[in-house]
Amino acid sequence: MFSGLDERPALGLDIEADGLGMCAGTAFNTPAAANRIGLRVAYIATLGNDPSSQLIREEFEIEGLATDYLEIEDRPLPGISVAFNSDGDRGFITNWGSDERYAEHLRMRAIDVATTIDARHFHAYVDDLPEVEAIALAAG
């Protein structure tokens, strides 16, 4: 996250930021908060052996978040979003660093977990996962 920008990035210009921060990202925030208030959390994710994945694994440890459904692959999976904050607004540039094989594998894992875990809350990006959404809705 770049902050303290005097202007927004524009093509052909170099600008400087007053602040820089790194974190696991927005998908991590809800499970971490639920864990902090004592809820049991099953976070389904796949990480790699790259620096970004290591940062996320460290945040799992710091938060005491269970890693039962965390899968580690011996390859880089650097899903990265860079946020730039200016004038009370923000923009993002994102590269997920994955391919269709990864997306399908994660979808199948989410379906498996959704059908086998007795959950009271389900939090996911379901735009591309209608089957998972249907399973969660059917389970109440």
pLDDT surpassing 70 at residue 139: yes
Which run of H or of E encompasses 55?
helix 51-63
The per-residue pLDDT for range 116-126, each reduced to its tens digit, is 888 777 777 66
Q: Dihedral through CA 108, CA 110, CA 115, CA 121, nearest 10?
A: -170
pLDDT computed for residue 43 by the predictor: 84
In degrees and rounded to multiples of 5, residue 11 shows phi and psi of: -55, 135
Domain ranges of the chain: 2-98, 99-140
**Where does the pLDDT of residue 4 fall: very low under 50, low under 70, confident under 90, or very high at 90 and above?**
confident
Architecture of domain 2-98: 3-Layer(aba) Sandwich (3.40)
Highest-scoring range by mean pLDDT, 15-29, 48-62, 125-139? 48-62
pTM over 0.75: no
In degrees and rounded to multiples of 5, residue 72 shows phi and psi of: -110, 125
Buried b / exposed e along 9-41 (16+ C-beta atoms within 10 A): eeeeeeeeeeeeeeebbebbeebbebbeeeeeb
Which run of H or of E encompasses 93?
strand 89-95
The per-residue pLDDT for range 45-102, each reduced to its tens digit, is 888 898 888 999 999 999 999 888 888 989 887 678 888 888 888 888 887 766 677 7
